[in-house]
A and B are shown apart, each in its own frame.
Chain A
Amino acid sequence: MRYFLLLLNRSRVLILFLVLEVIALTWISSSRSYPRAAVKSKTAEISGRFNTWGQEWRNFLNLRIENEHLAKENAQLRALIDASILAQNYGADTIRDSVIGQHYTYIPAQVVNSSFLKVNNYILIDKGARSGLRSNMGVINNKGIVGVITSVSENFARVLPLIHPNISLSAALKNNGFYGPLKWDGKSYRQAQLYDIPRYAEVSQGDTIITDGRSNIFPPNIQIGTVISGSLQADQNFYRLEVELSTDFAKIDNVYVVKNLLSEEADSLMQEQE
């Protein structure tokens, strides 16, 4: 016993070292799992407040570029309003009511902090539960898809970007409708991979990849990226496509959170089936 205590005393540094490393490892693994990301919302509030301060400077410096983007987007939206569409079916008997037909609404938000060169990238935005944000809402910007909200605090929300190994998103080829999961292999922040496209599908370089309605998070037909190259998967029956993402994660500022007004209805029906 005496010898044991002596041994314990001599190796106390080693034991302390091991204990601390085990604490750190548990912390890492608990913060990695996707559903338990809610724990992070506490630290998100702290780092959010801190980063807002730095972001104000960066916003100011990027004002001119951001303005150009907004002006472009305004122009695109202007093209969509009723006044700029030629009504060809005068006297038609159906009237589209935009209030009843509303499926998605968009909440504008600003990125306060983000990373894109790490493996586990993240984005923090300046709207939270107070603005009606919930986890599992989609986030887009004027170029394409940004990510999915994983946790929200009062004033901030943490977004799991497309460039994160845990994400898997249903995406489709625009011209023929074949779809598969879009994942990220952790190599380049400009490229993601689309899996499970059948071998007989005709795919060529430059084809557009869009969201399809299956995800229930994003509206359909939002651009994700374009095909760069493709190769057969190990099973020889399906293609794995390299996709150049249209969202440049190195410069994202203004984003829109997608609020699916019918998501609860769809979810309850899904659960009923199971």
Chain B
Amino acid sequence: MKFLKDFILFLVIILLQVSIFNNFLFFGYMNPYLYVYWLLSRNNEDQRALYLILAFVLGASIDIFEGSGGMHALATTFIAFIQPYLWRLVHKHGEEDEEAPWLQQLSLDRRLVFLILALFLHHLVLFTAENFGFNNVGILLKRSLYSSIFSFIFVGIYQFWKARR
């Protein structure tokens, strides 16, 4: 049952990304890629191989809709790989609540730091792949930063809303 729910959420998030969020373009640089949140919000430490493949499939589905040929697959696989290390980097021993779901084990401020770091890295890999190299580094960094901040606003609001409940 939980598997089915996860699977439906997986499909819904792809559809949301390609139908709504891909059409958000603010100030010329900001395009939110929120579908990564599906990956970031779950613990992939126990089944890393499975989550790597799922991440690849997630990215590849976005690629097929966007016609962007492998860029999203590259970025999501990368994020799925470094996610546990990032998590360990920001989390502090003794502070976490073992009972809570994975992401909620981090305190709110640490969770936000984790999310912005992960989003920025994802966007950076994505835009580097799109650019196919490091020429125009300035523009690359600017686009990654602005877009990840923009994605972060959505994700951050969701986190605050969750924390208040």
A residues in contact (CB < 8 Å) with B:
12-13, 16-17, 20-21, 23-32, 40, 43-44, 46-47, 50, 54, 117-120, 122, 124, 158, 186-187
Contact = CB atoms under 8 A, between A and B. Distances in A.
Given A50-B65, A118-B130, A20 B49 contact: no
Contacts of B70: 23-28, 31
B53 A16 contact: yes
B67 A187 contact: no
A118 B132 CA distance: 12
B56 interface: yes
Given A20-B52, A28-B74, A119-B130, A50 B18 contact: yes
Interface stretch (B23-31, B86-94, B102-110, B149-157): B23-31
A46 B61 CA distance: 11
A31 B68 CA distance: 8
Contact of A117 (B25, B71, B136): B25
A40 B66 CA distance: 11
B32 interface: no
Interface residues on B, range: 20 to 34
Contacts of B77: 17, 20-21, 24
Interface of B: 18-19, 23, 25, 28-29, 31, 48-49, 52-53, 56, 59, 63-71, 73-74, 77-78, 81, 129-132, 136, 139
Q: From DSSP, what is the main secondary structure of chain B's interface residues?
A: helix
Q: Describe A's contact surface by its main secondary structure.
A: helix
B66 A28 contact: no
Given A20-B52, A24-B77, A28-B71, A47 B31 contact: no
B49 A43 contact: no
Contacts of A124: 67
Contacts of B66: 47
A29 to B, nearest CB: 8
Given A24-B77, A25-B74, A117 B19 contact: no
Contacts of A50: 18-19, 65
A46 B64 contact: yes
Contact of A28 (B64, B69, B81): B69
